[in-house]
Chains A and B, each alone.
Chain A
Amino acid sequence: MNKKLLALLIAVGVVFGISLVAMLLGMRNSEKRMVVITQDNQVIHKIDLNSAENQTIRVDGTDGSYNLITIRDGEIFMSEANCPDQTCVKMGALRAENLPIVCLPHKVVIRFAEEGDA
């Protein structure tokens, strides 16, 4: 095996390794960190949990109903709502793609963003 070939082999290895790491990093950053808040099936907020500052967002309904949504340390949860069942508040922070936080009485949903969300 000559030196040129060895160099080429190493080059292939390095390029492959770097792109693999970059791909994994890219996946980690983009994966499951964009969330949307919807009201009546309309997206009203789109938030990147990786960069969002700690804050509380208020969502008002037409009939005096409201939901307070808190973002803290990269997590998002329903901190308060004047709905009768409080299911949304009890749910805690958003964890999984298939388990949105839903306030059924107010039709307010917090979920991870999908392809096609405005």
Chain B
Amino acid sequence: MKRTTKWLCLLLFALGLTGCSSPEAAETTLESTDLFAMDTYMNLKVYSVNGHTPITEASERITALENTFSVTNPDSDVSRINTNGSAEVSDDTKTVIEAGLSTGIESGGALDITIYPLLRAWGFTTDTQQVPDAKTINALLENVDASRVNVEGNTVSLPDGMMLDLGALAKGYTSDEVIRIFKENGAESGIISLGGNVQALGRKPDGSLWSVGVVNPFSPAENLCVLRIENQAVITSGNYERYFVADDGEMYWHILDKSDGYPADNGLVSVTVVGDSGLRCDALSTALFVEGEEQAPEHWRRCDDFEMICVTADGRILLSEGLEDSFENTSGLPVEVMHRE
């Protein structure tokens, strides 16, 4: 009889195991929203604590930051600098400009926030893409030089003929801000995607890691790999994001290299950066993309605050060693692990 009871208990236990529901903290609810801002599609998800409205607050913050950083809104900080040559800006703008300038120096000019006039000549800002003639490119390159941007207090000044834009950093900073708002509202779990740039707060409510897909640049409707992360940003710059095919049959994309004024074509088609700060990851993903297959791994070796996944134009995945355990290949492309030593 005793033994039968024991088996019965086991049976009940086995039945219990097959249940799918996982216990969740009772006081949190999943809040989710989609929005269009900063010329992209965003999705925010957060497990919010009752009585708090982090989604509403975050959405308002996104709209405010869009109005601050936009190159097309004439009242934005960035437009006022570009139009007047000098302007008093918000702390947000100052922070982002300084991050752009320092990553620019760190990458030997691969990222340059003053490349905007050239981007405009290529038509990427207005959906009127075209290959500018060599004369135009060379003339515009004269005024691409972030070292001549002057920041004093909250006043930003540019020399005549120079313009800047924060397109390479704005979404990363916004992402940090959304996560900060989630935290301030007491949330411990959430995940956001700003046009494919993902940032996670904590882990999933059940304690497991978040799965974040990274786009396959050769087939942008599919994932290259899945990363398992917590509390980190996963930000990608890829040639598939914005491009056009010109009459010559060539593909031209939106990440330009100031060494020749053409789309950066240094052996990489996408770079994904994983780290704690969205702003830092966003700036780095553009810089590393331009640095290319030779320089990007060297840049990574000099730093200890990020990991990365590069995809080469000939279809190899270069994976930095810190991601080996969180990386799952879903594309079948060959992987080469990069080591620091």
Give me the interface of A with B, judged by CB distance under 8 Å. 4-5, 8-9, 11-12, 15-16, 19-20, 23, 38, 41, 84-85, 91-102, 104, 107, 109, 114-116
CA distance A116 to B32 in the complex (A): 8
B4 contact set on A, CB distance < 8 A: 4-5, 8
Asked if A20 and B18 make an inter-chain contact with CB atoms under 8 angstroms apart, the answer reads yes
Dominant secondary structure at the B interface: strand
CA distance A97 to B210 in the complex (A): 13
Render B192-215 as a binary contact track against A, CB cut-off 8 A, 1 for contact.
010010100000000000001101
B3 contact set on A, CB distance < 8 A: 5
Question: Taking the nearest CB of chain A, how far is it from the CB of B26, in angstroms?
Answer: 16
B34 contact set on A, CB distance < 8 A: 38, 41, 109
Asked if B213 and A104 make an inter-chain contact with CB atoms under 8 angstroms apart, the answer reads no
Asked if B220 and A41 make an inter-chain contact with CB atoms under 8 angstroms apart, the answer reads no
A19 contact set on B, CB distance < 8 A: 15, 18
CA distance A98 to B20 in the complex (A): 23
Given A12-B14, A99-B221, check contact A115 B30 (CB 8 Å): yes
CA distance A19 to B16 in the complex (A): 10
Q: Which residues of B1-50 are within 8 A (CB) of A? A: 3-4, 7-8, 10-11, 14-15, 17-18, 20, 30, 32-36, 39-41, 43
Partner pick for B212 among A41, A84, A98, A116, CB 8 A cutoff = A98
A23 contact set on B, CB distance < 8 A: 18, 20
Asked if A84 and B127 make an inter-chain contact with CB atoms under 8 angstroms apart, the answer reads yes
Asked if B221 and A92 make an inter-chain contact with CB atoms under 8 angstroms apart, the answer reads yes
Asked if A104 and B33 make an inter-chain contact with CB atoms under 8 angstroms apart, the answer reads no
Asked if B33 and A95 make an inter-chain contact with CB atoms under 8 angstroms apart, the answer reads no
Question: Taking the nearest CB of chain A, how far is it from the CB of B213, in angstroms?
Answer: 4
A114 contact set on B, CB distance < 8 A: 32
Given A9-B7, A12-B7, A15-B11, check contact A104 B18 (CB 8 Å): no
CA distance A20 to B11 in the complex (A): 14
Asked if A99 and B213 make an inter-chain contact with CB atoms under 8 angstroms apart, the answer reads yes
Task: State which size class the interface on B falls in.
Answer: 20 to 34
Question: Taking the nearest CB of chain A, how far is it from the CB of B153, in angstroms?
Answer: 37
Beta-carbon nearest neighbor of B220 in chain A = A91
CA distance A41 to B20 in the complex (A): 31
Asked if A16 and B18 make an inter-chain contact with CB atoms under 8 angstroms apart, the answer reads yes
Asked if A99 and B36 make an inter-chain contact with CB atoms under 8 angstroms apart, the answer reads no
CA distance A20 to B14 in the complex (A): 10
Partner pick for A85 among B17, B35, B127, B222, CB 8 A cutoff = B127
List 29 interface pairs A-B (beta carbons < 8 Å), by A numbering. Answer: A5-B3, A5-B4, A8-B4, A8-B11, A9-B7, A12-B7, A12-B10, A12-B11, A16-B14, A16-B15, A19-B18, A23-B20, A41-B35, A41-B36, A84-B127, A85-B127, A96-B221, A96-B222, A97-B213, A98-B198, A99-B213, A99-B215, A99-B221, A99-B223, A100-B41, A104-B41, A107-B36, A115-B32, A116-B30
Question: Taking the nearest CB of chain A, how far is it from the CB of B197, in angstroms?
Answer: 11
A84 contact set on B, CB distance < 8 A: 127
Asked if A94 and B221 make an inter-chain contact with CB atoms under 8 angstroms apart, the answer reads yes
Partner pick for B36 among A8, A91, A92, A104, CB 8 A cutoff = A104
CA distance A84 to B73 in the complex (A): 21
A9 contact set on B, CB distance < 8 A: 7
Known: A15-B15, A20-B18, A99-B196. 13 other contacts (CB 8 A): A9-B7, A15-B14, A41-B34, A41-B35, A84-B127, A92-B221, A98-B212, A98-B213, A98-B223, A99-B213, A102-B41, A104-B41, A114-B32
Beta-carbon nearest neighbor of A97 in chain B = B213
B43 contact set on A, CB distance < 8 A: 100
Asked if A109 and B222 make an inter-chain contact with CB atoms under 8 angstroms apart, the answer reads no
Question: Taking the nearest CB of chain B, how far is it from the CB of A77, in angstroms?
Answer: 9
CA distance A98 to B223 in the complex (A): 9
Question: Taking the nearest CB of chain A, how far is it from the CB of B45, in angstroms?
Answer: 8
Render B221-262 as a binary contact track against A, CB cut-off 8 A, 1 for contact.
111000000000000000000000000000000000000000
Question: Taking the nearest CB of chain A, how far is it from the CB of B205, in angstroms?
Answer: 12
